[in-house]
Amino acid sequence: MLIDRRLVLAGLGALAITPDASAQSFPNQPIRLVVPFAPAGGTDIAARLLGEHLATALGQNVVIDNRPGANGVIAGEAVKTAPADGHTLLVATAASFAGAPALGQKLPYDVEKDFRPVGMLGLFPLVLNVAPSLPVNSLAEFIALAKKEPGKMNFASAGVGGTNHLVFELLAQAAGIKLQHVPYRGAALAATDLMSGQVHAMIDSLAASLGNIQAQKVKALALTTSSRQPQLPNLTTMKEQGVDLVYPGWASFVAPAGTPPAVIDTLNGAMAKALAAPALKQRYEQLSIEPVNWSPAETGRFMAADRTMLTDLVKKTGIKVE
């Protein structure tokens, strides 16, 4: 059977231009942003805020789809199986995309292979707080006290394997100290016992603890960020105080694997415009979120480095989630 050469070339040409054509028409429907938390939490509020500005930049509505539960697995599965066309995005967090894989949790997806990084939602500064009754006023004094009585002091967390647990273990490794871990079912319960002095220390988000710090219900000793934060300009970082630890909490946007690079770039460009908006910057500061305008590649490297660091920590400490 003879085949018309012109038909073959036309077919090959159509295959060649299909990805570009789909990218050029993107977005052609509302963007669904899947958030692995219930409404009204800090990450949800930030996602909605960025989503509003993203909608303006893209010329399409951004619809928030809250899918809480199972440490982000429910939300992750919803996005993994969605069409890889850029119209469905996931809010990935340090806990779900770094902590969970580091702890060896069985996930129904591979966080590196099944998703593509788009850009950063933001960095969430963490702070070392201690009970107001603890006789220390600096990170150095805290470390000295912990070394003086090894294993007698304790620290609270929102649960085994959570971000504030793992970051405190990073601090303990960097400072050469050992404290007893007291896990709670949630950060709010842990913070309450910290204020009453039933536990000695806790690493918490600056957003959650800012009011208690300002009301002197807890003592803030150091930030885990690379620089000071405008909400507490006199509070120094751990690195400034001689402890080599920089670890902000974080959240990013990821898309299903197979999403065309041109679509990813379009989304990242829209995020850059949104993050540059003065109104968003002002609201982020109020929420204690640090905006970072990173490319998809920079976002991916950051997420991978975090997984590697936490995986090494788990191997050294033997932390296990029951």
CB atoms within 10 A of CB 305: 11
Phi then psi for residue 170, to 5 deg, are -65, -40
pLDDT of 17 above 50 = no
pLDDT at position 12 is 46
* pLDDT score recorded for residue 3: 43
Above 60 in pLDDT, residue 215? yes
Rounded to whole angstroms, the Cα distance separating 234 from 253 reads 32
Pairing between strand 88-93 and 249-256? antiparallel
CB atoms within 10 A of CB 292: 17
Q: What is the pLDDT of residues 248-280, one digit of tens each?
A: 999 999 999 999 999 999 999 999 999 999 999
Distances (CA, A) of 22 to 82, 191, 261: 16, 49, 11
Give 220-238 pLDDT, tens digit per residue.
999 999 999 999 999 999 9
Mean pLDDT of 201-218: 95
Q: What is the radius of gyration, based on Cα positions, of the chain?
A: 22
Question: With 70 as the cut, is the pLDDT of residue 10 above it?
Answer: no
Q: Do domains 29-124+248-317 and 126-223 have the same CATH topology?
A: yes
Distance (Å) of CA 69 to CA 34, 36, 37: 12, 7, 7
Whether 223 contacts 238, CB under 8 Å? yes
* pLDDT at residue number 22: 54
Residue 176 has pLDDT above 80, yes or no: yes
**Secondary structure (3-state) at 228:** coil
CA distance 322 to 5: 64
- Structural domain boundaries of the chain? 29-124+248-317, 126-223
Q: Which of 278, 273, 296 is nearest to 54 (CA)?
A: 273
The number of angstroms, rounded, from the C-alpha of 267 to the middle of its chain's C-alpha atoms is 18
Dist CA 269 CA 266 (whole Å): 5
pTM: 0.87
Q: Which fold has domain 29-124+248-317?
A: D-Maltodextrin-Binding Protein; domain 2 (3.40.190)
Which residue is it, tokens 């896990």? Answer: 183
Is pLDDT at 21 greater than 70 in this prediction? Answer: no
- Residue 93, SS3 per DSSP: strand
**Mean pLDDT, the chain, integer:** 91
Distance, CA of 104 to chain centre: 18
Whether the per-residue pLDDT at 281 is higher than 60: the answer is yes
The arrangement of strands across the sheet holding 201-205 comes to: 180-183, 154-157, 201-205, 126-130, 219-223
- The CATH architecture of the domain made up of 126-223 is 3-Layer(aba) Sandwich (3.40)
Residue 8 has pLDDT above 80, yes or no: no
Q: Tokens 């012109």 correspond to what residue?
A: 6
State mean pLDDT over 81-87: 97
Provide the pLDDT for residue 23. Answer: 61
Whether residue 301 is predicted with pLDDT greater than 90 in this model: the reply is yes
